[in-house]
A and B are shown apart, each in its own frame.
Chain A
Amino acid sequence: MKTKVVLNFSPEAANTPITHNLIAKYHLLVNILRAEIDEIGGKMVLELSGKADDIRKGIDYLKSNGVGVRPIKEGVRRDDDVCTHCGMCVSICPTKALAFDSKTGKVTFTEEKCVACGVCIDACPPRAMEILI
């Protein structure tokens, strides 16, 4: 199975090789979708793939090391009735989940690519983007 999580690091946790341990000890495939970490802590968005049991154990391991773990259940949603397809969100979306389709002239939203960072929320002039946590 696959799951997306947002990790919050304390300064101590930022200096532990947790990604390595998730791979080596819990046999998880780790895809780093976003990371902002320095010596005073930070945030990381991961996609974890593996056996359900291993994912659960991996998350427990993270928590026991002082890492805050928040699952991304639905992330960002777009209200298609509100979106005007202007494209403001396209240049600020870090994963290109929001992209411009020149054929249709519409802005497409690929939820699988979205890491729920939320930068599009306050950038959307008609307020079509909503974050669900």
Chain B
Amino acid sequence: MTAQEFKEYVKANGVKKAAKDVDIVTTGTFGAMCSSGAYFNFGHSDPPIKMQKVWMDGIPAYAGLAAVDAYLGATELDDTNNMMHGGAHVIEDLVRGKAVRLKATAYGTDCYPKKEIDTYVSLKTVNQAVLLNVRNCYQNYAVATNSGSRTLYTYMGKLLPEYGNATYSSAGELSPLLNDPYYRSIGIGTRIFLGGAQGFVIWEGTQFNPGVPRTPAGVPKRAAGSIAVIGDLKQMSPEFLRGLTFTRYGTSLGLGIGIPIPILDEEMARACAITDDQIVTAMFDYSQPARSRTVLKEITYAELRSGEIELKGKQIPTSSLSSLYKARQISQILKSQIQKGAFMIERPVQNLPMDRVFKALDVRTEKEAM
């Protein structure tokens, strides 16, 4: 069943029966996942080059690896900081089957004499094209609003002045990690739907922070967990992988992820039965330019989804940055793939760590850092 169907099934039949009757619940999310990128192996030129600096359609890719490998980050911009076309857009272009201009320079060595190359590559010409994202699929996320007197352009979108609107970015009750709050079934090695293809969870996501406040049911009320993922870019689809532009902030990758959750027992069934009215997040004022913003209010996804929330006696219209439509689509696709036997489910090779804390970066001396 999809997560949506399962929640209705539990409502009608109770958790006990649902745990017995249902094997797998499919979840889904589609949103801006900034900490993403792809690595490539371009193949060797003749004479060969040890690429030191690499640009893909003018966007710099990191080439501090061997010879013809490079990593293109989703948020990377060209020299003019053109936010309409960043690393994420180049990745989307490649997935769309387009050819991308590859330029590289090098200092030249005895074994790699060539010093520059200017050519075109596509997913057909490269050896590997692999999406490798270090932080995706946040378990929960903040709600952003703006008390200031001017419009703010943020990674949470356009925030109108005087609490003119509020934005949030989670698929709520459909979101993978909200249905498995203690990461019992999602761990290293978990096979996932990634950008239209099959990929894997390879590690905890960066900033993994499971120790945040939770509801009595164990659902985190703040960002909490995230996952690092990998998958073959050549198998992905632009339907579930998009370059995004957040005006005056930068570019990001719109990415679809779906994760099946096996209903191992009643506890798992209870976790997957959670609905938007039981998932809480916190609202912050993004006009406060500080690392730790004060919580304005705690709020449920049911309230956010209603289109309007109340703050300080004012009704504020809300916007989602995460596509519910695509989240539903992904959970549906995943369900049919599992039913057809085209998507296998395994136990994670290793569970995600519960003891991580989220540290800050302070300006410190060498001694203090030791």
Pick the interface stretch among A11-19, A20-28, A120-128: A120-128
For the A-B complex, the count of residue pairs with Cβ-Cβ distances under 8 Å equals 80
Closest-by-CB residue of A relative to B326 is A84
Please encode chain A, from 60 to 91, with 1 for each CB lying within 8 Å of some chain B CB and 0 for all others: 00000000000000000000000011111111
* Nearest chain A CB to B301 CB, angstrom units: 12
A104 to B84, CA, bound (A): 29
**Given contacts A92-B165, A122-B247, A123-B247, is CB(A86)–CB(B322) below 8 Å?**
yes
Residues of A within 8 A of B320 (CB): 86-88, 90, 100
**Given contacts A85-B326, A104-B325, is CB(A92)–CB(B242) below 8 Å?**
no
B244 touches A126 (CB 8 A): yes
**Given contacts A125-B246, A125-B254, is CB(A88)–CB(B321) below 8 Å?**
yes
B319 touches A90 (CB 8 A): yes
Cross-interface CB contact of B244 among A104, A105, A125, cutoff 8 Å: A125
A64 to B326, CA, bound (A): 52
**Given contacts A122-B158, A127-B245, is CB(A87)–CB(B254) below 8 Å?**
no
B31 part of interface (Cβ distance < 8 Å): yes
B71 part of interface (Cβ distance < 8 Å): no
A9 to B349, CA, bound (A): 68
Residues of A within 8 A of B236 (CB): none
**Given contacts A88-B319, A91-B319, is CB(A123)–CB(B242) below 8 Å?**
no
Closest-by-CB residue of B relative to A82 is B242
Residues of B within 8 A of A102 (CB): 305
Please encode chain B, from 155 to 194, with 1 for each CB lying within 8 Å of some chain A CB and 0 for all others: 0011010001111000000000000000000000000000
Main secondary structure of the interface of B (DSSP, over half): strand
A106 part of interface (Cβ distance < 8 Å): yes
* Nearest chain A CB to B215 CB, angstrom units: 23
B307 touches A92 (CB 8 A): no
A57 to B57, CA, bound (A): 53
A86 touches B321 (CB 8 A): yes
Residues of A within 8 A of B327 (CB): 105
Closest-by-CB residue of B relative to A123 is B158
Residues of B within 8 A of A88 (CB): 157-158, 167, 319-321
B30 part of interface (Cβ distance < 8 Å): yes
Residues of A within 8 A of B326 (CB): 84-85
Cross-interface CB contact of A87 among B160, B242, B243, B323, cutoff 8 Å: B323
Q: Which residues of chain B have a CB within 8 Å of any CB of chain A?
A: 30-32, 84, 157-158, 160, 164-167, 242-247, 252, 254, 305, 307, 316-328
18 further contact pairs, Cβ within 8 A, besides A90-B320, A92-B160? A84-B325, A85-B324, A86-B30, A86-B322, A86-B323, A88-B157, A88-B158, A88-B321, A89-B319, A92-B164, A92-B317, A92-B319, A100-B307, A102-B305, A105-B323, A105-B325, A125-B252, A125-B254
The 5 A-B residue pairs with the shortest CB-CB distance, nearest first, are A91-B165, A91-B319, A105-B325, A125-B244, A91-B317
